[in-house]
Amino acid sequence: MPQIATSRPELSRELGASHAAAVVVGALVAALWAYDGWNDLNMVAGEVKRPERNIPIALIAGVAEVGVLYVLMNAAVQYVLPASAIAASPRPASDAVALVMGRLGAGIVSAGMVLSMVTLNGTIMSGARVPFAVACDGYFFRALAQVHPRFHTPSVAIMVQAALSIVLLLLEANFRQLFSLAIFAEWLFYMIAGSTIFVFRRREPHAARPHRMWGYPVVPAVFVTVAAAPLCCTFKNDWPNSGYGVLVILAGIPVFSYFARMRWRSVEPNT
């Protein structure tokens, strides 16, 4: 490789740029995972009062608040620790607090990080609403549309979601690979969902729109483009995991087609 780099400087620069892009995308995927969760509110929109008003406010205010907190936290850590110490530390926030407040402060921060995992219950409750809604529409197993008589939650969908999560943990114990796979699949759907606004605007030009997209069509076009860029880089630099994610997603097409045919056959005699 050194001989190639010496005789082919343009190839060396290309390899260096490719490595830098892979590093940036890897860091971006981790950052997207940290910010992820804003979309969970959309899954429970049917249970929100005045969703046309409250959901946009909650999304914009929530993402803005989390962004400000994350930036301030990172700024504080970088103010206390040098870049080399941050890169070498597995827990830079805890180390920064330990340097300022001692080990007791570091322990408090670590405990706070552990307690923050309790917020996963929001993701658990909202994620189960997707198969629940699909089942209610007749495009999945009817059992997943059951609502618990006491707690009024999609209990069967939650249990199925828990079982699938356990299977993924058993099959792949590497947390980084799991969240990389999750982020790739999620942002693929974010991109697809964002692009549907062009379809619905053209297909249903006179439909009621309680919340109008500011800056249409530039803003959704920018979102789709920005979402597509890390997806392409992630697929190129981590194609095995990304390929598995695509295969899992594509496996849903025949399942959906089967239930769609069954639903059509059950409705056809009544028409």
pLDDT score recorded for residue 6: 42
Rounded to whole angstroms, how far apart are CA atoms 140 and 260?
9
Give per-residue pLDDT as tens, 4-25: 444 455 544 554 556 666 667 6
Cα atoms found within 13 Å of the Cα of residue 146, Cβ hemisphere only? 13
Dihedral sign computed on CA atoms, order 204, 207, 211, 216: positive
Rounded to whole angstroms, how far apart are CA atoms 23 and 201?
38
Rounded to whole angstroms, how far apart are CA atoms 258 and 20?
44
Per-residue pLDDT of the chain (271 residues; tens, 9 = 90+): 444 444 455 544 554 556 666 667 667 766 777 777 778 888 888 888 888 889 889 988 988 998 898 899 899 999 999 988 888 888 888 888 888 888 787 778 778 777 776 666 777 888 899 999 999 999 999 999 999 999 888 999 999 999 988 888 787 667 777 777 777 788 888 899 889 989 988 898 888 877 777 888 899 999 999 888 878 877 777 777 777 778 888 888 999 999 999 888 877 655 5
pLDDT score recorded for residue 19: 63
Buried/exposed code over 94-109 (b: 16+ C-beta within 10 A; e: otherwise): bbbbbeeeeeeebeeb
pLDDT score recorded for residue 144: 94
Question: What SS3 state is found at 111?
Answer: helix
Residue 154: how many other CB atoms lie within 10 Å: 24
Question: What Å distances lie between residue 226 and 51, 111, 124, 131, 197, CA to CA?
Answer: 27, 35, 27, 28, 16
Domain spans of the chain, in order of start: 128-171, 173-271
